[in-house]
Structure 1
């Protein structure tokens, strides 16, 4: 799998590494993600870089919808991804068969910052991790005087915590 990834940018997954040293080798098909969390991070990076083939390839075939490529491309092209936070992981290591990753992905849809909070399920088969499906969870809300989840620099009560 070949992609046109930017050569030297910070990895979108938030690891603090360069894309070429983090998720890039997974996105380019050079090696599989070694853990469920690494697959989750690389799938987030694939949405950011619009690497649609990788997203389709790493979605378990039994769980793909008939029009999944179109749906994935539409999502990747319609929003701007702003950040990923891993909340928790269960199993999902190299020796495990299954794993769960709970995460929050921030994105902008038009002018609104929003969050996707999901508990995703993964399965490893023959040394490759696959995304199965996930449960959408309610948005995370910090305490009123803590920084807002959207990273605006405002407190939650001054930003998304305002009564609308």
Structure 2
């Protein structure tokens, strides 16, 4: 397995961290694991994974990546519920990115639902700076 660091910032290798969800057939066991893997999917332009993990009730029709954005870091601030046995959960995070060479931060509190054995992203309250 590759020892390439996972872009989610966990300190683990990509293959054993988010790669097993994005490239493999494993499912994230927690809302936080799904959130981390979705960040990586954005950073790597893996729209197939974003579509598969977005709740059908809120999923946009167009998930084309914005090539002008380069994701550069993720920090989890807080999780609420979202573990095994929970029906829903929330994850607050800050994602850092560059747009046209300028650094930005996006603060979001994401809402996830666990349905039919899978976590899915539903919505998020976003504050950008």
Asked if 2 retains the 8 angstrom alpha-carbon contact of 1:122 and 1:130, the reply is yes
Shift of 1:48: 1.3
- Residue of structure 1 equivalent to 2:16: 21
Q: Which has the higher contact order (CA 8 A, sep 6+)?
A: 2
- Residue of structure 1 equivalent to 2:52: 57
Asked if 1 retains the 8 angstrom alpha-carbon contact of 2:7 and 2:40, the reply is yes
Shift of 1:65: 2.1
- Distance, in Å, in 1 between the alignment partners of 2:15 and 2:24 is 12
- Distance, in Å, in 1 between the alignment partners of 2:68 and 2:122 is 23
Q: Deviations over 1:47-76 (max 9, x none)?
A: 111111001110101111232x23xx23xx
Give the TM-score normalised by structure 1: 0.74
Given the alignment of the two structures, is residue 103 of structure 1 paired with residue 98 of structure 2, yes or no? no
Structure 1 segment 1-164 matched on structure 2, within 5 A: 7-67=2-62, 69-70=63-64, 73-74=65-66, 77-137=67-127, 139=129
Q: Deviations over 1:76-106 (max 9, x none)?
A: x221111000000000001100000000000
Aligned length: 129
Asked if 2 retains the 8 angstrom alpha-carbon contact of 1:119 and 1:137, the reply is no
Give the TM-score normalised by structure 2: 0.94
- Runs of 4 or more above 3 Å deviation: none
- Distance, in Å, in 2 between the alignment partners of 1:138 and 1:109 is 12
- Distance, in Å, in 1 between the alignment partners of 2:37 and 2:7 is 9
Structure number with greater Rg is: 1
Shift of 1:138: 5.8
Root-mean-square deviation (Å) = 1.5
Unaligned 5+ segments in structure 1 are 1-6, 140-164
Unaligned 5+ segments in structure 2 are none
